A and B are shown apart, each in its own frame.
Chain A
Amino acid sequence: MLSLNIKTELRSIFRNYWLASIAVLLFVLCFYAGWNGTNHVSQRKENIAQAVTAMKEADILMATQLDSISNGFEVNLQPWWYPTSPTAVGDQYPRVAAFHPTSLTFIATGQSDMFSHYIKPIMTGDSYTLGFTELTSPVSLLMGHFDLAFVVVYLLPLVIISFSYNILSTEKESGSLVLIASSPLNVSLWLLQKLSVRFVVISGLLSLCLGLVLIFNGNNFNAKSLQLFTTIILYSAFWFALAYLINLQGRSSSRNVIVMLGFWVVFVLAIPSLASQWANAVYPVPSRALLVNEMRSLKAEVVKEQDKLLDDYLRNHPELIGVNADSDESLRRTQQYFAAKDMVEQRIQPLLSTYNTNLEKQQTWVSRFAYLSPAILAQNSLNHLAETSSEHYDSYRQNVRDFAEQWRDFFLPMTFEGKIFRKEIIGQFPEFHFDKTAIRSPIPINSTVLLVLASGLLIVGFRTRGAHEMEKIMQ
């Protein structure tokens, strides 16, 4: 029966205008989304390239100025730009800590439009505010623009619904079901085979569209592409399995489509929205304004006790005691600044910790909800493949914070020891490397959950409407 069903279903599908319409629709959607995503990535690449170019030009200028100074020429610059000062170099000639897009970034905008793709940490900057943002809506951050992920997560289920909601009901309404049901076959199995053919046709069409979009974007087929196709196929399988269960209820076409659209609203819109609102209600994050105010008042307090703070600071950091700063007012002020800054960071830590803890709790809360919605699972996997997930940006920010400390620690001893910055030191600048090894891939577990959900729906459908339970279908 399988080969006969496949042959007949394919004949019916290919002789119908429906397939051509869906094929055109999928091609248009995928190519537009791909083009849109590529534009977004190009902009990002351009921004990073501009920043890197500016940095290199500044380095060349700084080297020229240092050469001039060492040759005894006078350079007309403000003190905070003077390149012999380590503090000035640490502040005015920062490195670009960039988060470069990958070849698959164009598939999912994810959080990439919410955060900077490059940060230039400076020596006197507050590392705890780097890339800081409030998580007002974790799921709205999760979802992106009109990209391939949007097409897959939001629109593909609608295409599947339009292609599968009435398989059994149309047979029933047209009268051909009675002929089928009078044959010695299991209607559940027969329906499963028909749906499977449609699933293969849609998956094949979508894979073809995606494959072409990937090729046009210069991608090679590799493990990541395979994960992309697997995620999309499993997500499609879930919607087809849901259609199978609903078809087997034996209701009318109109009722089926309403029920399936209801599920679409629940899984794609309602659960993600509820998840973020609930997370905000259960784990409210302290206001960022509060954090900034707290920081300012702390700064004001510590300024009053700068002398004492510097003594305490140097007691804790004896390696930084190099010169007698008492004789140099400017150096003393710089030292006091860093001592005070360190103290502010220590004192702000409890508030920052509460802020971060609640953010983490929100993320955990939202990630639990993900298992209630295949749409969140699919989006999460696609964001991970595109490296635009919240985990990637969390990791990036942590890498930048670490680099900011490394950058400051590179200049701080020179500042405290009153050393002169020389041209040779430029080559010793720390460089930023984004270490992604700590980012855990959610794809294996997400794929497993999607597979379990799809299989579960198929099993439930198969068990509830077996060969001996035709009455409800035929009524």
Chain B
Amino acid sequence: MLHAQNLSKEYDSNLALNCLNLSVEAGDIYCLLGANGAGKSTTINLFLNFIKPTSGTAIIDQMDVSQEPLKTKERIAYIPENLNLYGELTGLENLEYFVGLSGKKYDDGTLAEYLKEAGLQANVYKQRVKSYSKGMRQKVGIAIALAKKAKALLLDEPTSGLDPKASNEFSELLVKLSNQGVATLMATHDLFRAKETGTDIGIMKAGVLVEELSAEDINHSDLEKLYLAHMN
């Protein structure tokens, strides 16, 4: 579903991403680990077509992102570290708007179902989002992904700043989506969450994917050692 082929990005002679190759298939949760500036967010931004690759190709559902930016965006949902919705609108209205931008239209009942599925409490649907916690906003983000019926999910440190309970709930939702066949590419610093949630783990350093492994094949302790070994 998501493929990076020799993907590179250079900013003013600084190589932010160097010849990245990775694949995320339907149902996979691929966790990208790495220090700040390792190239995780650059990878996500290239898949979103927010930036152009210097070389190589980002492919979503067999389409080149650079060539078909609108068609590829029909197949994805994106949740950034801080999901900033419109504070003056309610959760339901935000969901209606951001799903509507993808050309999908639902009645309030259906939208409420998606919010419920994302784990948001029913009594806050019609509250203005400016009163929401970060965890609640991230759940609206998941509801957007559900309602968009996205084939792929791009997440940029989505659990950063969430309390453990909220973080755990978020992970459960990702697994649920994964079981529905959604391909997920998640940039994160959270080794524990990557091991618990991910199916595949990639470690990046200075724009290079230095390690790629299956989450099943490694335990928490070894993952931490491996990660630190690469960071040193």
Contact = CB atoms under 8 A, between A and B. Distances in A.
A464 to B, nearest CB: 16
A179 B158 CA distance: 13
A304 interface: no
Nearest to B79: A179
A184 B75 CA distance: 9
A16 interface: yes
Contacts of A15: 88-89, 128
Nearest to B77: A182
Contacts of A179: 78, 80, 83-85, 98, 141, 144
Most A Cβ at <10 Å: residue of B45, B66, B78, B84: B84
B52 to A, nearest CB: 6
B82 interface: yes
A183 B98 contact: yes
Given A15-B89, A178-B78, 12 more contacts: A1-B100, A11-B89, A174-B84, A179-B78, A179-B144, A182-B48, A184-B71, A185-B70, A190-B101, A470-B50, A470-B69, A474-B51
Interface of B: 45, 48-52, 66, 69-71, 73-74, 76-78, 80, 82-86, 88-89, 93, 96-98, 100-103, 128, 141, 144, 154
Given A8-B93, A11-B93, A12-B89, A467 B51 contact: no
Contacts of A12: 86, 88-89
A4 B80 contact: no
A16 B88 CA distance: 8
Interface string A144-188: 000000000000000000000000000000111011111111100
Contacts of A186: 70
A175 B50 CA distance: 13
Given A4-B97, A8-B93, A178-B78, A474 B73 contact: no
Nearest to B45: A474
A184 B103 contact: yes
B93 A470 contact: no
A31 to B, nearest CB: 29
Nearest to A475: B51
A468 B51 CA distance: 10
Given A176-B84, A471-B51, A184 B97 contact: no
B84 A175 contact: yes
The 9 A-B pairs with the shortest beta carbon distances in the complex, nearest first, are A175-B84, A183-B101, A182-B78, A184-B73, A4-B100, A474-B50, A15-B88, A184-B70, A184-B74
Interface of A: 1, 4, 8, 11-12, 15-16, 174-176, 178-186, 190, 467-468, 470-471, 474-475
Contacts of B128: 15
Nearest to B148: A183
9 contacts: A1-B101, A175-B82, A178-B78, A179-B98, A180-B98, A180-B101, A182-B154, A184-B70, A471-B52
Most A Cβ at <10 Å: residue of B71, B97, B144: B97
Contact of A468 (B48, B69, B144): B69
Given A4-B100, A11-B93, A178-B78, A471 B88 contact: no
B86 A175 contact: no
Nearest to B128: A15
Contact of B50 (A16, A184, A471): A471
